[in-house]
């Protein structure tokens, strides 16, 4: 067992983990943060994307011990004071999900994208979400959801009514 100290969504945890514990299992099973999903478990589908120190990563392919000392943000950390994050709101408003399994990872990847590129083109959104697979939507409404969030975060206010 190793002892790690991580800050997840602003709260600091000291935990004992086996070195082989994957970050996604630690988040889901030790911290009960089950918003982060396990999809393919082979670092392709992106359902498990969380942020480590501000960068999006696939948490099925990171060891929990590697996150020692890090700040982690999961989907549970986006809403503030009961207010959905613009991305969460965008997925709601634009019907960016059907079954919802990929949604937490999609949103966390989109969050990384919008931090680096606050005003992405449609192509840039599709490129930025390359690491996330959705088997329901055909991606169209996911792209619209990210555009909605970008507009809202940029304060243009154009998108909601279209």
Partner 1 sequence: MIPGEFQYFAPTTVDEAVSLLQQHGEDAKLLGGGHSLLPAMKLRLTTPAVLIDVTKISDIKGVSVNGSVTVGGGATYHAVASNDAVRSACGVLADCVAQIGDTQVRNRGTIGGSLAHADPAADLPAVALALGATITAQGPGGARTINADDMFVEMLTTALEPNEIITSVSFPRLGAGAGAAYEKMRQPASRYAIVGVAAYVKLGSDGNVAEARVAVTGAGPKATRQDATEAAITGTNGDDAAIAAATDKAGEDMDYLGDIHASEEYRRAMVKVYTKRALAKAIAQARG
Residues of this chain that interact with partner 1 (CB under 8 A) are 2, 18-22, 25, 41-44, 46, 49, 55-58, 61-63, 65-66, 68, 109, 112-113, 128, 130-131
Tokens of 62: 């990171």
Q: What is the three-class DSSP state of 29?
A: helix
CB of 75 to partner 1, least distance (A): 15
Tokens of 159: 């998108």
In terms of CB distance, is 55 or 121 closer to partner 1? 55
CB of 97 to partner 1, least distance (A): 20
CB of 161 to partner 1, least distance (A): 31
């Amino acid at each position: 067992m190793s002892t790690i100290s991580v800050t997840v969504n602003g709260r600091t945890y000291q935990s004992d983990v086996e070195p082989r514990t994957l970050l996604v299992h630690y988040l889901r099973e030790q911290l009960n943060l089950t918003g982060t999903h396990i999809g393919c478990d082979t670092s392709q589908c992106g359902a498990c994307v969380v942020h480590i120190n501000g960068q999006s990563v696939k948490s099925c392919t990171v060891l929990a011990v590697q996150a020692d000392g890090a700040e982690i943000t999961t989907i549970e950390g986006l809403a503030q004071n009961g207010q959905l994050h613009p991305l969460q709101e965008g997925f709601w408003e634009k019907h960016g999900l059907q079954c919802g399994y990929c949604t937490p990872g999609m949103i966390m990847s989109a969050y990384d994208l919008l931090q680096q590129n606050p005003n992405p083109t449609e192509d840039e959104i599709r490129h930025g979400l390359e690491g996330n697979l959705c088997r329901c939507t055909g991606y169209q409404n996911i792209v619209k959801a990210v555009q909605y969030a970008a507009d809202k975060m940029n304060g243009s206010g154009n998108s909601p009514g279209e």
